[in-house]
Structure 1
Amino acid sequence: MAPHLARLILLLFLIFPRLSAVRHVSVQTGGSITFPCHYDQYYINHMKYWCQGLGWDVCSYVVRTDHPKSSGKTSISDDINKRIFTVTMTDLTSWDYGNYRCVVEINGGTDIMIQWFYLSVTPGTPELYVEQQEVTGVEGGSVTVCCYYSNSGDMKWCRMGGDCVSGNSGTLNGTSVTLTRTSDANIKTVLTVTMSGLKMENTDWYWCRVGEREMPVHITVSQQTATQRTSKMTSTTQDPTPPQPSASPTAEPVQTDNTSQGAEGNMEEVHQRSVKVLHISLGMLVVVTAGILVTWKMWRRPKDNKAKDQTTNNSVDPFPEADDDVTYSTVIPQHKTQLKGQTKSADPDDNVVYSSLALQVTTQQRAAAQQ
């Protein structure tokens, strides 16, 4: 009996620390929900299943990690590295409400309940919901989760199986967490959760909790790509703009990393810088061109003046030595022969004959003038 008693005590020691209080989850009709179930490392190779029922003896399984892994609108998957199996229920109706349990099978039949959920399906807006159950971010960046609620109670952001942050701010595993309460235009109260300075180990399931209502949210942190690192280095610091929520409470994946969102604004700034550099380059080109033109004109000015002086001298005296070669003819007055029978004229000009004056220019002077 002693060995059996020892095994029973060990089993109870393993079971009860893993038991959690019932989690109340509310979903709108037609929506979907994913439930995370965390188990101990001792149960990595054990079969897990999802069952519906309230009592220990009344629990009919719906899906199992061995077979079947899906049944109708419900499916199950097991991540043995993170020791979490998840159950997803889609297209929910009022018939799907009730108690559900995450169960691990040991010793070929003994079941261990590791989590208990109560699911309510409402045609109206749920008391607590999030737009997206799956949120992604990059290392060093931040993510924002908006939790819409209409009930009252303490507000917390908790890591599954870990600590919680309440009030206005705190830390989870070295990551900064801030909680902000606001009301939107539709008079809905919103609890905005922002996790900054993300690390790879922040990838996990979290719970948004208001009073007795809870909603699971999975955050995935990935490494920055080369493009994201370059954009971050070239960008200026900008205030992150939280995503604008819609009124749909259904769960769909969404990218909410604020660091990568700044990339488009960064590209615009890079474009503006390129245009500015182009303008400066064009201005410098104009200045250099003007300097070259001024230098060329200054260099050409002495030659132009010299050519102008030569032209002026040539135009003043085309035959500078012509005086030496001028030949003057002698003017000799000649008397006209008086015809017989005529009376001698009294005008002395009638008896004078003038010769023409001719300038003789040498061949050498003509050649110099033509040059």
Structure 2
Amino acid sequence: MAVYAKKKMFYISIGFWLILGVECYSGWSNHVLTIKTGGSVTIPCRYDEKNPPQKKYWYSEYDQSKIYTNTSEENLSVIDHPDQSLFTVTMKNLQNKHTGGYSCAVETEGQPNVTYELHLKVQSAPDVSVVSSSISGHEGGNVSVQCFYSSGYQNELKQWCRYKDQSCYTVGRTETSQNSSVQISDDGRRSFTVLMTGLRLSDSGWFFCSSGEAMNPVHLTVTEAEPVSGPTDNPGNSSETGISKNKNKTDTEDQQIRNKELLSVWLPVSAALLLLLILVGVFTWKWTQRSKQDKHQNRERNDSRTSDAVPQIWQL
């Protein structure tokens, strides 16, 4: 850019090197940020957290303007986040005219310095895009990001890059010192998937999906893991809760055993009682019928005797 060329400010690239299978790269100035026409993008701009600059701004080669932090316009906002040692630039409703060079810049004691520069390319079909530019996950959990690329970038190197330390992960699986891992799989059909497992709170921040020089930003938020047994006032209660759960489980099993034992005893007893009641009922019914029959026979005898006595009286 002409303005910065006059001031002889150059972004120094220190090239590539490998650390624990992770490729680190600081030559971000060669990268092209591809955004869909009419779309929006948020770009992070880091600065020295130990020596925060007095001024931070976003420089546009398009109109050679400087937009300082904490400025909000209709389609452009530059917001400082001192707790993260960075400021973000959000551009909305991007059109072809916005294609061009841009820079993150700071001023310390009146001396300007470019911290990050890129070339923004607005396209109807972006060379590299993502399903979502903002993702979240829990500590210890996993997140997945799907990145798309155009046919012209099919044979380019696919990477998932962390903006904070400018480290990049390539296709395959890479174990990190934080006990988390990154796996990138390319389906060869214009998309590749990034899987991050074993998330840590320190993984929160900005990343880039990239294919060759084309890239697209993604912000990851990692929150604390949700407690399994619910919140407790005393950390030691977790073990007590576990003991209590085991005791309750044992008591329940013992009760079930006792119920089975009682059932095995009461079933035959109940059957015997039921049989006895049936026998008593039958005996009672037969006894009642026998009594009725005896009464009926006695009545017949009495009637017979009476009929025999009547003729004798008339004979007298």
Q: Name the TM tier (shorter chain).
A: 0.5 to 0.7
Residue of structure 2 aligned with 1:84, choices 71, 86, 92? 86
Q: CA deviation at 1:106?
A: 0.6
Per-residue Cα deviation, 1:16-47 (whole angstroms, up to 9, x for no partner):
88974312111121111111112211343632
Query: Does residue 158 in structure 1 map to residue 166 in structure 2?
Result: no
Q: CA deviation at 1:149?
A: 0.6
C-alpha contact (below 8 Å) 2:34/2:121 kept by paired residues = yes
Q: 1:94 to 1:178 in 2, by over 3 A?
A: same
Query: Which residue is 1:204 aligned to?
Result: 205
Query: Which residue is 1:355 aligned to?
Result: 312
C-alpha contact (below 8 Å) 2:26/2:166 kept by paired residues = no
- For 2:308 and 2:35, how far apart are their aligned partners in 1? 140
Equivalent residue runs for 1:202-281 within 5 Å: 202-225=203-226, 229=228
Query: Which residue is 1:31 aligned to?
Result: 39
Q: 1:328 to 1:31 in 2, by over 3 A?
A: closer
Aligned length: 253
C-alpha contact (below 8 Å) 1:30/1:92 kept by paired residues = yes
- For 1:19 and 1:100, how far apart are their aligned partners in 2? 17
- For 2:191 and 2:296, how far apart are their aligned partners in 1? 109
Name the SS of the counterpart of 2:28 in structure 1: coil
- For 2:105 and 2:212, how far apart are their aligned partners in 1? 26
Name the SS of the counterpart of 2:156 in structure 1: coil
* 1:73 partner letter: N
Equivalent residue runs for 1:17-56 within 5 Å: 20-22=27-29, 23-44=31-52, 46-53=54-61
Greater Cα radius of gyration, structure 1 or 2? 1
Q: CA deviation at 1:189?
A: 0.7
Please give the TM-score of this superposition, normalised by the length of structure 2. Answer: 0.68
- For 1:116 and 1:328, how far apart are their aligned partners in 2? 139
- For 1:330 and 1:311, how far apart are their aligned partners in 2? 31
Q: Name the structure where strand makes up a greater proportion of residues.
A: 2
- For 1:32 and 1:168, how far apart are their aligned partners in 2? 31
C-alpha contact (below 8 Å) 1:19/1:113 kept by paired residues = no
Query: Does residue 74 in structure 1 map to residue 76 in structure 2?
Result: yes
Name the SS of the counterpart of 1:305 in structure 2: helix
- For 2:64 and 2:90, how far apart are their aligned partners in 1? 18
* 1:158 partner letter: C
Per-residue Cα deviation, 1:65-115 (whole angstroms, up to 9, x for no partner):
25xx123411111221221211011101111111111011110x2111110
- CA RMSD across the alignment: 3.9
Query: Which residue is 1:135 aligned to?
Result: 135
Q: 1:355 to 1:16 in 2, by over 3 A?
A: same
Residue of structure 1 aligned with 2:292, choices 290, 315, 324? 315
Identify unmatched segments of 5+ residues in structure 2.
1-8, 15-24, 231-259
- For 1:356 and 1:135, how far apart are their aligned partners in 2? 125
Give aligned-pair identity as a percent. 27
